[in-house]
Amino acid sequence: MSTSEYDSYRPPELDRGRKKRRRGGRPGGRGGGQGWKNSGADGNREMPMVEDVEFSSYYGRAIVKAPPWGDEIALYLFLGGLAGGSSLLGLGAQFSDRPGLRIATRLTAITATGVGGAALVADLGRPERFLNMMRVFKVSSPMSLGTWILSGFGVGSGVLAAIEVDRLTGLRLPLGPLRRILHAFETPAALESALFATPLAAYTGALLGDTAVPTWNAAGRNGLSYVFVSSAAVAAGGTAMALAPVRENGPARLLALVGAAGEAITMDRMKKGMHPAEVDPLEEGEPGHKLHRAEKLLIAGAIGTAAAEVGARAFAKRLGKGAGWKTRTALRALSVVSGTALAAASAYTRFGVLEAGIESTKDPRHVVEPQRARLEERRARGITGDSITTGV
């Protein structure tokens, strides 16, 4: 028998030897012979030729290669949603004359954009790779669109942040005649930033769903982008609650509550539309622990936010400066704790979803079982003449 250097990669072969028993005469012959006997034989004297085995891939290898994405990408997913939601809050704060909320959300947006962009570049390895992605504009590629969305959003957010810093320093930045031009672009920059805000929060869901990773692909087909948009609203609302004055962060509380309800609903619907084997990584192991923490923090933060909203409405007249300092202190503490819990819930959601996808590539069951289920579903609908059902 010839041998090869690759024989070491093969799993050990099972012992297929059979114990032979003979009762009078030769096996299977005439003259009283009873044939072959084995404890696994049935009434027709048939027996399984191999033992039962568990499903595994070719030589036990993974079917889908795990993407080389780590915590930097998970951080980018979270900060991108935070930046987008904060930009929308900042636009509303500008039009509703809430300077404290406006400053907090605009500075949050530019900080999240800068740190998130740095995390993305760190994952790419070299900064020029990000610039190389801008050489083309491909509508069918979520990664290409995401590069342009992030860049467009960053321009508007940068202008707004410069304006706020100039105001906070008492118009002391060395801008000279450019100051008037810069401040004249405040509203156009706010509108431009808000235009890219929702796509920035949503495109990462389409980006993950566009891969062959089992859990991500299934989640993308069943509304992962809606989960991420809701999570972005939770993060932005919670962060603004922690940073902005209580008397001004009513819109932040409302956005946080709507986002919390939306995340709970869309996450549940997404899982129901997925195959159980695709859902398992979202509920088991370390990714499952992170998503369970996100759920608990989301509930706790939503309850605290609702209590803060009720308190703010009840004591609206006492929240002015110089009156009701105990009430203001209590509501401020409640807003900070609840907002922090909501922001942490959003972060856990992004990290959990990212890690669940990577985990789903390690077990071939997450790939094969959903494929077989979809194949049987097509055959049950009478679709049997195409290359998917016939393998031709």
| 378 within a domain of the structure (yes/no) | no
The pLDDT-based confidence of 389 (bands split at 50, 70, 90) is low
Least confident segment among 120-129, 189-198, 256-265, 267-276: 120-129
| 61 within a domain of the structure (yes/no) | no
Looking at residue 188, its pLDDT comes to 95
| 389 within a domain of the structure (yes/no) | no
Count of domains observed in the chain: 1
User: pLDDT tens digit string along 17-49?
Assistant: 444 444 444 444 444 444 444 444 445 555 555
* pTM for this entry: 0.80
| 367 within a domain of the structure (yes/no) | no
- The CATH number linked to 276 is 1.20.1630.10
Range of the domain at 246: 71-359
| 27 within a domain of the structure (yes/no) | no
| 58 within a domain of the structure (yes/no) | no
| 186 within a domain of the structure (yes/no) | yes
| 6 within a domain of the structure (yes/no) | no
Which H, E and C letters describe the chain, residue by residue? CCCCHHHHHCCCCCCCCCCCCCCCCCCCCCCCCCCCCCCCCCCCCCCCCCCCCCCCCHHHCCCCCCCCCCHHHHHHHHHHHHHHHHHHHHHHHHHCCCHHHHHHHHHHHHHHHHHHHHHHHHHHCCHHHHHHHHHCCCCCCHHHHHHHHHHHHHHHHHHHHHHHHHHHCCCCCCCCCHHHHHHHCHHHHHHHHHHHHHHHHHHHHHHHHCCCCHHHHHHHHCCHHHHHHHHHHHHHHHHHHHHCCCCCCHHHHHHHHHHHHHHHHHHHHHHHCCCHHHHHHHHCHHHHHHHHHHHHHHHHHHHHHHHHHHHHHHCHHHCCCCCCHHHHHHHHHHHHHHHHHHHHHHHHHHHHHHHHHHHHCCCCHHHHHHHHHHHHHHHHCCCCCCHHHHCC
